[in-house]
């Protein structure tokens, strides 16, 4: 008997859920309002430049490989990536330039040469990050937090004896400030709070789990760009029989007698035995389940930060820059106070510049570079974004020009902009938040929506707004957790 499954949204989690459901024997349809797949993980082409529109850091590639292996295919036949020799270039306003080498020995030597920090302290911090990951990853990242079985499995029981070492009760900044003596190293490690849109001065020190992904497991680059993750998985899904419907805005998730009935598109209900929503969970309830009483406490949790991104075609190449580059603000705490308390943009923001043409030269014309230039900003709560964007643009140009010793404004030959308003409109992300809820309290992991509905049989959720969180790795894991709740077709 054919069992049909409908998926709302062709973001990376929706695509992964489609692949997993197809492997369980379902006939799968994916509905996407945009004309393209990927959600935030899409691309922009402009005047001879190509930009990955959203996520620019690739970690935990085995989560992508797993989808090919599950489908009986060899990943190298369809998707290739390399490990980066240098994770990031860091620029400080005092003139310090630091390379975060992938090789730990090289990184510790760089720390020793460029800062006053004891490299053994940094070495211990990376070991501690690995220990947090090994203790918590199975419990918090790979299983549902909303099933009692999660907390009674052998790995969870072993983890309980180590909980006192996981730093739930200090903030990330407090832990880093007490561990390190050099403010530049404190700032470097505080930066990892931004990987899930949080504030290092509020998020628990448990979030020091994040450096493990980059330093101990590795940072990678898909040889055809980040968008090739989306492209390769869409093609895999199609080979498995998944059908994608683009320009197909879902109007409602239809139910009958507390069970899923189907998906309403273009005024007609398409029947499905189960539905997986990859749409932001807030907007899923507000727009597609407006007749259902929402879980208000979960949906009104504080949202993560957003981003302001300038896609710049730059008519010069810069030897001192790499794929990933950070230009730090002088006062990190003030910057985060502006983002989360004042809901504004600090006059001296930390600037991230991603240049894929360093590894994929055809992303820019000869002797040019494609700059994905981003700062962390508050989510959309009605600010005067046009004014903020103008001010931020000048602050970014001034900062980068000062650090590189060149007038950047003369080098920018084309520009496109993505701000919290357009992030919200293009991806249905509530308030333009990049990661759904923030993780600015120790209970945040438990205040994300489950990957299934307790009230509506056959309704499931995936993507960055639900458990376990935002970013490519966690979004892929959300699809796994959701589909793991679903039995295979008999």
What contacts 206, CB < 8 A, 6 or more positions away? 132, 136, 166, 167, 168, 442
- Given this model, what pLDDT does residue 441 score? 80
CA distance 27 to 471: 27
CA distance 465 to 343: 20
Angle between helices 62-70 and 12-23 (to 10 degrees): 30
CA distance 366 to 362: 8
- Given this model, what pLDDT does residue 490 score? 83
- Given this model, what pLDDT does residue 144 score? 64
CA distance 149 to 146: 9
- Given this model, what pLDDT does residue 136 score? 81
**Cis-peptide into 230, omega within 30 deg:** no
CA distance 111 to 124: 13
The HSE-up count of residue 104 (CA atoms within 13 Å, CB side) is 16
Instruction: Assess contact for 113 and 229: CB atoms under 8 A.
Output: no
Buried b (16+ CB within 10 A) or exposed e, 129-166: bbebbebbbbbbbebbbbbeebeeeeebeebeeeeeeb
- Given this model, what pLDDT does residue 159 score? 57
Instruction: Tell me the three state secondary structure of residue 147.
Output: coil
pLDDT in tens, the chain (490 residues): 789 999 999 999 999 999 999 999 999 999 999 999 999 999 999 999 999 999 999 999 999 999 999 999 999 999 999 999 999 999 999 999 999 999 999 999 999 999 999 999 999 999 999 999 988 877 677 766 666 565 556 665 565 555 556 677 899 999 999 999 999 999 999 999 999 999 999 999 999 999 999 999 999 999 999 999 999 999 999 999 999 999 999 999 999 988 999 999 999 999 999 999 999 999 999 999 999 999 998 899 999 999 999 999 999 999 999 999 999 999 999 999 999 999 999 999 999 999 999 999 999 999 999 999 999 999 999 999 999 999 999 999 999 999 999 999 999 999 999 999 999 999 999 999 999 988 888 777 677 899 999 999 999 999 999 999 899 999 999 999 999 999 999 8
Beta bridge partners of 268: 265
Q: Count Cβ atoms below 10 Å from residue 338 Cβ, excluding itself.
A: 21
CA angle 170, 171, 175 (to 5 degrees): 75
Task: Give residue 109's Cα distance to chain centre.
Answer: 30
pTM equals: 0.95
Q: How far, CA to CA in Å, does 113 sit from each of 106, 183, 327?
A: 11, 15, 19
Instruction: Tell me the three state secondary structure of residue 95.
Output: coil
- Given this model, what pLDDT does residue 165 score? 64
Topology adopted by domain 4-41+224-301+439-484: FAD/NAD(P)-binding domain (3.50.50)
Instruction: Assess contact for 468 and 4: CB atoms under 8 A.
Output: no
Angle between helices 119-136 and 172-179 (to 10 degrees): 150
Give the start-to-end residue ranges of the domains of the chain. 4-41+224-301+439-484
Using CA atoms in the order 228, 229, 234, 239, what is the torsion angle rounded to 10 degrees?
90
């Amino acid at each position: 008997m054919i069992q049909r499954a409908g998926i709302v949204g062709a973001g990376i989690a929706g695509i992964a859920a489609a692949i997993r459901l197809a492997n369980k024997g379902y006939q799968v349809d994916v509905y996407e309002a945009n004309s393209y797949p990927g959600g935030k993980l899409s691309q922009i082409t402009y005047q001879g430049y190509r930009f990955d529109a959203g996520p620019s850091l690739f970690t935990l590639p085995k989560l992508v490989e797993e989808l090919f292996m599950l489908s009986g295919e060899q990943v190298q036949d369809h998707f290739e990536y390399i490990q980066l020799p240098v994770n990031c270039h860091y620029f400080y306003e005092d003139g310090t330039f630091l390379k975060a080498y992938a090789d730990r020995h090289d990184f510790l030597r760089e720390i020793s040469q460029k800062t006053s920090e004891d490299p053994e302290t940094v070495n211990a911090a990376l070991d501690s990050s690995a220990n947090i990951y090994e203790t918590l990853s199975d419990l918090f990242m790979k299983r549902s937090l909303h099933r009692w079985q999660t907390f009674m499995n052998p790995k969870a029981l072993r983890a309980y004896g180590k909980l006192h070492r996981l730093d739930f009760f200090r903030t990330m900044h407090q832990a880093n400030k007490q561990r390190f003596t050099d403010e530049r190293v404190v700032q470097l490690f505080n930066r990892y709070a931004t990987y899930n849109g949080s504030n290092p001065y509020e998020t628990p020190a448990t979030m020091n789990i994040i450096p493990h992904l980059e330093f101990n497991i590795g940072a990678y680059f898909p040889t055809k760009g980040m968008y090739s993750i989306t492209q390769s998985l869409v093609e895999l899904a199609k080979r498995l029989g998944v059908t994608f419907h683009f320009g197909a805005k879902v109007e409602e998730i239809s139910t009958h007698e507390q069970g899923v009935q189907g998906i309403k598109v273009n005024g007609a209900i398409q029947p499905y035995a189960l539905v997986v929503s990859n749409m932001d969970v807030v907007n899923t309830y507000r727009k597609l389940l407006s007749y259902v009483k929402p879980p208000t406490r979960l949906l009104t949790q504080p949202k993560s930060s957003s981003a302001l991104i300038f896609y710049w075609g730059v008519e010069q190449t810069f030897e001192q820059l790499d794929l990933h580059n950070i230009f730090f603000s002088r006062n990190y705490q003030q910057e985060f106070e502006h983002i989360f308390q004042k809901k504004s943009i600090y006059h001296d923001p930390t600037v991230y510049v991603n240049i894929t043409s360093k590894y994929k030269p055809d992303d820019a014309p000869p002797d040019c570079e494609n700059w994905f230039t981003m700062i962390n900003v508050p989510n959309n709560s009605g600010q005067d974004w046009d004014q903020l964007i103008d001010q931020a643009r000048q602050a970014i140009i001034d900062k980068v020009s000062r650090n590189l010793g060149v007038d950047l404004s003369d080098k920018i030959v084309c520009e496109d902009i993505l701000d919290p308003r357009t992030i919200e409109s293009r991806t249905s992300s509530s308030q333009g938040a990049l990661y759904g809820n923030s993780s600015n309290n120790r209970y945040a992991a438990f205040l994300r929506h489950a990957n299934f509905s307790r009230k509506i049989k056959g309704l499931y959720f995936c993507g960055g707004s639900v458990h376990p969180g935002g970013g490519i790795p966690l979004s892929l894991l959300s699809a796994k957790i959701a589909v793991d709740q679903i039995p295979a077709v008999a």
